[in-house]
């Protein structure tokens, strides 16, 4: 893996081009290299829009997104792809490619003229990504034959094959069973790169994220440690539910419960 990178947003906003509807109001924050940022909020809050701005799919209506101090829209698209990898919720299932071939696509940004590969090194990185996500036994299976959870793991492996400085994930635990969710969270903690992920589960965000950004209706309600952001008042304002902070026994782990 490459050295983790910093991310800085400076008054970044985004509006729909046709009707000028504001989806994300101006937002600023700085994420230090190697930190895990969890973006949380109710459905329609603007989480996916913010992620698309970070991996250069959408261009900000105003403001700048910087990676290691450089505006990503002043960088060649290929260079951004070498620095930032994304794992989305939507996974194509009609590919006739094998799992190994899909993971190999992660090397594309690093290949030059006419897609020529760096043979031995590419193979080593692809093999590492397959093993890291426990996909060795599925390497020769076609993507279309896999379950949703298996496809999710393939897409994470493809992102790792990019050797990114920053990994962006949109609801990475969707379609995963409990064990796979725990394995995914452990993997994120072990990667030692900068990670930005959207999550629905506030308890999961508390356990795996260094920093959380709470948003509602495209506006920031707070950016900081889970302990400071997940107060009862902020959660109630964001989700319109009552909350209670508890300590579970015998693990003595903190847990948030919800009620109407």
SS3 of residue 14 by DSSP: strand
Judging by beta carbons within 10 Å of its beta carbon (0-12, 13-18, 19+), is residue 105 exposed, middle or buried? middle
pLDDT in tens, the chain (260 residues): 568 999 999 999 999 988 999 999 999 999 999 999 999 999 999 999 999 999 999 999 999 999 999 999 999 999 999 999 999 876 665 567 899 999 999 998 887 654 555 678 899 999 999 998 889 999 999 988 888 778 888 998 999 999 999 999 999 887 778 888 888 888 888 888 999 999 999 999 998 999 999 999 999 999 999 999 999 999 999 999 989 888 887 878 888 999 88
Contacts of 174 (CB under 8 A, 6+ apart): 89, 148, 152
User: Which ranges in 3-74 belong to alpha helices (H)?
Assistant: 47-54
Exposure letters 154-190 (e unless 16+ CB within 10 A, then b):
bbbbbbbbbbbbbbbbbbbbebbeeebbebbbebbee
Instruction: Give me the residue spans of the domains in the chain.
Output: 7-259
Q: How far is CA 196 from CA 203, 213, 226, 245, 250, in A?
A: 16, 10, 14, 25, 31
Judging by beta carbons within 10 Å of its beta carbon (0-12, 13-18, 19+), is residue 46 exposed, middle or buried? buried
Task: Work out the end-to-end distance of the chain between its first and last CA atoms, rounded to an integer number of angstroms.
Answer: 44
So what's the architecture of 7-259 in CATH?
3-Layer(aba) Sandwich (3.40)
Tokens of 126: 């692809």
Can you give the pTM of this predicted structure?
A: 0.91
User: 148-161 and 178-190 helices cross at what angle (nearest 10)?
Assistant: 10
Tokens of 51: 């992620």
């Amino acid at each position: 893996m490459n050295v983790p990178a910093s991310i800085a947003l400076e008054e970044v906003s985004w509006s729909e081009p046709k009707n000028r509807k504001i989806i994300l109001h101006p937002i600023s924050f700085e994420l230090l290299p190697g930190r895990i940022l969890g973006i949380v909020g109710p459905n329609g809050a603007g989480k996916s829009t913010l992620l698309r701005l970070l991996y250069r799919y959408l261009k900000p209506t105003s403001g700048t997104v910087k990676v290691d101090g450089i505006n990503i829209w002043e960088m060649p698209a290929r260079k951004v792809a070498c620095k930032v990898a994304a794992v989305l919720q939507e996974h194509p299932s009609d590919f006739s490619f094998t799992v190994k071939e899909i993971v190999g696509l992660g090397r594309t940004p690093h290949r030059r003229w006419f897609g020529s590969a760096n043979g031995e090194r590419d193979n080593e990185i692809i093999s590492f990504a397959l093993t890291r996500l426990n996909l060795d036994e599925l390497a020769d299976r076609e993507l279309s034959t896999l379950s949703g959870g298996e496809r999710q793991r393939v897409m994470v492996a493809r992102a790792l094959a990019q050797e990114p400085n920053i990994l962006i994930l949109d609801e990475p635990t969707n379609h995963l069973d409990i064990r796979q969710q725990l394995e995914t969270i452990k993997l994120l903690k072990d990667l030692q790169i900068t990670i930005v992920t959207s999550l629905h589960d506030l308890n999961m965000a508390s356990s795996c994220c260094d920093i959380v950004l709470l948003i509602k209706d495209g506006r920031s309600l707070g950016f900081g440690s889970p302990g400071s952001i997940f107060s009862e008042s902020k959660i109630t304002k964001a989700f319109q539910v009552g909350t209670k902070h508890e300590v579970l026994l015998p693990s003595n782990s903190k847990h948030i419960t919800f009620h109407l």
